[in-house]
Structure 1
Amino acid sequence: MNAEPSEERDGRPIGRRVFLGTLGLGALGVAAAPVLQRGLEAVAGKDPTGLTGLLPNGGGFRYYSVAASVPHRTAADYRLKVDGLVDRPHTYTLADLRALPQTRLVRDVQCVTGWRVPGTPFEGVRLSRLLDLAGVGSSARAVRFTCFDGTYSESLTLAQARRADVLVALRMQDKDIGHDHGGPVRLYVAPMYFYKSAKWLSGITVTDRVEPGYWEHLGYDVDAWVGRSNGRTDDPTS
């Protein structure tokens, strides 16, 4: 999961275990989320302690990173490398990505822990376009994503990566993606839980197999279909 704020915070990372402990979700997980979210929305404006300011609610995001600190990248120094099992490896600047055809999606953002931000617009380049421009090799089976925080990683199968609702996103909520939201460029995998939408994207590597990402090494599902993962095996594309 990559959660982040709707406005600038102090930049201190909130660990997932601390986050879950604060929420008190424990084993309740997604099942308790609708009740929890309604409760948070009801008390958000009535809490003098400020505790609800640490919690996600229908109005936005909270800053989250698995790294102790994350460097900033600007339009001048941002680079996205596409390599691996491709015929034409390429490194894109932010201007290069902005010059490509853009796709806009408006979908709910769903965290695996239960919170949701409804109707969130994302805009960017379809990942499938970058793969086509690179020329994917015949032995390719998956795509691995790396991030300039130096820690986070994710993967998709090649079929998942080619879906029309998977973006290399440059804009979110109708503005350029800021640093705390994972900018200037992040992945957006609309049909999956938000931990698949890697922030601070710096590398797209075509591989011959799926390599589990950061949270998947700690037990989270590799296939994170919203409402259909966490122990369920049915696939919405089948």
Structure 2
Amino acid sequence: MKVKDRVAPLTESAGSGGAGSGGVPKPSLFESDGFQYYTVVDKDPLITPAEFSLRIGGLVEKSRTFTFADLQQLPRTRLVRDFQCVTGWRVKKVAWEGVLLRELLNAAGMQASAGALQFLSSDGAYTESLTVEQAMRDDVLVADSLFGQAITPRHGGPVRLFVGPMYGYKSLKWLKEIAATAEVKPGYWEVRGYDVDAWVGKSNGRSDLPT
């Protein structure tokens, strides 16, 4: 299947100290690919592609469930973007591949009363949110490939969210469920003081260059 490339201009980090960083756990390791690793639970979920399923429900016309194989049959998009963490580190030229979130939302059909999406992780603790308008962007991806390889559990695989223009905490790992809601429901870190609209360089008291 043909993959549509969406390669954004890549930038150097120009960040300064950010608000709310006091509540962030220290990373347990530094990955060789430049990513620092954070978790809010004791043990990562271990889900194989064969076991994976993603449910879309809530304020939709028809609830849908997608398997890993289903995602492979949908139009594919490749995004190359810098990945910026709100704590200050940045990984340049990260190549993600998957399905645009809006493809899945359109398949379920958004009800007129739906104004936001809530994302739930298989870790049982982490949640995130976007407005419907944000979710329909062409740089928001349900990703199953990182640097041309299957996404490992350590990186949130087999399937995770990638929100290109926002800080990394919006890119929920181990994606399990999407619920369409009337209003935004603040996510795990947002109820702990982080900004809900986490645009890189325009939120959380930081001045990073956009991704």
TM-score interval w.r.t. the shorter chain?
Answer: 0.7 to 0.9
**Count of equivalent residues:** 185
The DSSP-based 3-state class of the residue aligned with 1:31 is coil
Deviations 1:160-217 (A, max 9, x none): 0000000000101111111100000000000000000000000011100000000001
**RCO (CA 8 Å, sep 6+): is it higher in 1 or 2?**
2
CA–CA distance in structure 2, aligned partners of residues 179 and 82 of structure 1:
22
Percent of pairs identical after alignment?
A: 55
TM-score normalised to structure 2 length: 0.83
**2:197 and 2:180 mapped to 1: Cα distance?**
17
More strand by share: 2
Contact 2:53 2:65 in 1 (8 A): yes
Specify the SS of the correspondent of 2:178.
Answer: strand
Pairing 1:73–2:58 present: no
After TM superposition, the runs of 4+ consecutive aligned structure 1 residues lying more than 6 A away are none
CA gap of 1:231–1:31, structure 2 versus 1, over 3 A, is closer
Paired residue for 1:22? none
**Does structure 2 retain, via aligned residues, the 8 Å contact 1:56–1:115?**
no
Alpha carbons of structure 1 residues 92 and 189: separation in structure 2 relative to 1, 3 Å: same
Choose the corresponding residue for 2:119, options 140, 145, 151: 145
Name the one with the larger helix percent: 1
* Residue segments in structure 2 that go unaligned for 5+ positions in a row: 1-14, 19-27
CA RMSD in angstroms comes to 2.0
Q: Which runs of 5+ in 1 are unaligned?
A: 1-29, 34-52
Could you tell me the TM-score, scaled by structure 1's length? 0.74
| C-alpha distance in structure 2 between counterparts of 1:141 and 1:71, whole Å | 30
Contact 1:192-1:224 at 8 Å conserved across structures = yes
Q: Does 1:135 align with 2:109?
A: yes
Determine the structure 1 residue equivalent to 2:147.
173
Q: Displacement, 1:75?
A: 1.6
Distance across 2 between alignment mates of 1:119 and 1:70: 26
The equivalent position to 1:110 in structure 2, one of 63, 84, 91, is 84
